[in-house]
Each structure stands twice: as C-alpha cells, then as structure tokens.
Amino acid sequence: MAALAPAGAEDAPARGNSKRSQEYNIRTTDKLMISIFQEDDLSTICRVDAKGTVNLKLVGEIRVYGLTLSEAERTIEAAYKDGRFLRNPEVTVAVEEYAPREVSIQGQVKNPGRYPLPVESTMSVLDLVTKAGGFTDTAQGTAVRVTRIQPDGSTKVITLDVESLIKGRSNAKTNGDNNALLLEPDDIVYVPERII
C-alpha cells in the first residue's frame, strides 16, 4: 500500500508528493501512525525508540529504523502474517512528527554551526558549505571530512574534494561511494586548515 503524506508535520513540504514520502528513511524518535485496514484495535501512534523499533500489539517489537515508509509497511505486514495473526494485512505507515534533523559544520567556513536538514529532500556537503558562507581563505577544501554515525553505533569518516566540485573540475571524486556527498542527520562536517 502506498505511503501517505505526513500528517501534522508543520514544516513538511507540500502534501501529495508520495514519491518523496516513500523515500524518507525512518529515524529514532520519529512519531509514526501505523494503521491496519479493518483492524482498528491494532492501529496505533507510537515513537521509534532508541533501538530503532516500535512496539506493536500481538507481534511485539519490530525494527523500522532506516527503512522507508513503504519498507516499514511491508515489514509490519510480514510480522502479522508470519505470526499467523492476520491472513492478508494492509498496513499504512505515516509520519505524525519528525525527529529533529540537523548536521553540523566546523573548521574553516565563514559561519560554522548546526544547520537543519530538509525533511524529505536531500542536502549535499556542497550545499552545507554554501549555507555556511563558503570556505575561509585558509580552508583546505580538497580534504573535507564527514563523520557519520552508523546504525550499529560505529563511525565512518569520508573525505571529500569539495573545492574541485565548486570549481567544476572533472577530477572531483569522493573517497568512497558517490552517495557520500549526501548528508544524513547528525553528520559532522569538518573543513581543515590548509598547511602553508
């Protein structure tokens, strides 16, 4: 079943863009409305806990952290089927309230600090550097580091050549996969000082 546009999210983009809604990945502390067609007693509104799970009637804890809304729907449907509670459940998951989504940028940018991430669209490291006023004169833009906390609690450091991206050089590459340029909530971006 297709995901519904978020209900009650004041800062959410215009409703009706279901493709964007389906691309949203569930975070801890998101408040979700989980509806099961013709099973009102099983429908609930709950928050994703620190373990990335929601606690549902009959099936207990279901891990939804990092899933898209449609993936969460399929996961919950499977839990009710596998447990033999419902023969053919139709689950709808919608975000009632989004968890705070911020990234921080430190080091050699003109306005270091924390910046909000758009709810259902992406922001790249280049976008964040631009929001932070750009590099200072002493910034080493070829070695920008992004520290990302993984779902298992470990950290991953990605080094990017943002300066080449800004200047449109064809050799602009990331140290890792191309998705590394897209920021995730709680990423820490650090721009080192150039050694002269």
Instruction: Tell me the average pLDDT across 178-184.
Output: 65
Question: Beta strands of the chain (E only): which ranges?
Answer: 31-36, 44-47, 53-56, 60-63, 91-97, 102-107, 113-116, 144-149, 155-160, 188-191
Judge contact between 154 and 70, C-beta under 8 A.
Answer: no
Query: Which residues are registered as beta bridge partners of 106?
Result: 190
Backbone angles phi, psi at 32, to 5 degrees: -110, 145
Q: What φ, ψ does residue 34 adopt, rounded to 5°? A: -115, 115
What is the DSSP annotation of 2-17? PPPPPSS-TT---TT-
- For the domain 102-191, what is the CATH code? 3.10.560.10
Its CATH architecture, for the domain 18-97, is 2-Layer Sandwich (3.30)
Neighbouring-strand partners of residue 61: 55
Q: State which amino acid sits at residue 86.
A: L
Whether the per-residue pLDDT at 179 is higher than 60: the answer is no
State the CB neighbour count (10 A cutoff) for residue 141: 22
Q: Give me the residues paired with residue 116 across strands.
A: 102
pLDDT over 50 (residue 85): yes
pLDDT in tens, 107-144: 999 999 999 887 767 788 888 998 899 899 998 888 88
* Model pTM above 0.75: no
Residue appearing with tokens 């493709």 = 19
What is the DSSP annotation of 119-146?
A: SSS--BHHHHHHHTT-B-TTB-TTSEEE
Where does residue 38 rank: exposed (0-12), middle (13-18), buried (19+ CB within 10 A)? exposed
pLDDT in tens, 143-170: 889 988 776 677 888 888 888 777 775 5
Domain parsing of the chain, residue ranges: 18-97, 102-191
What pLDDT is stored for residue 32 in this prediction? Answer: 94
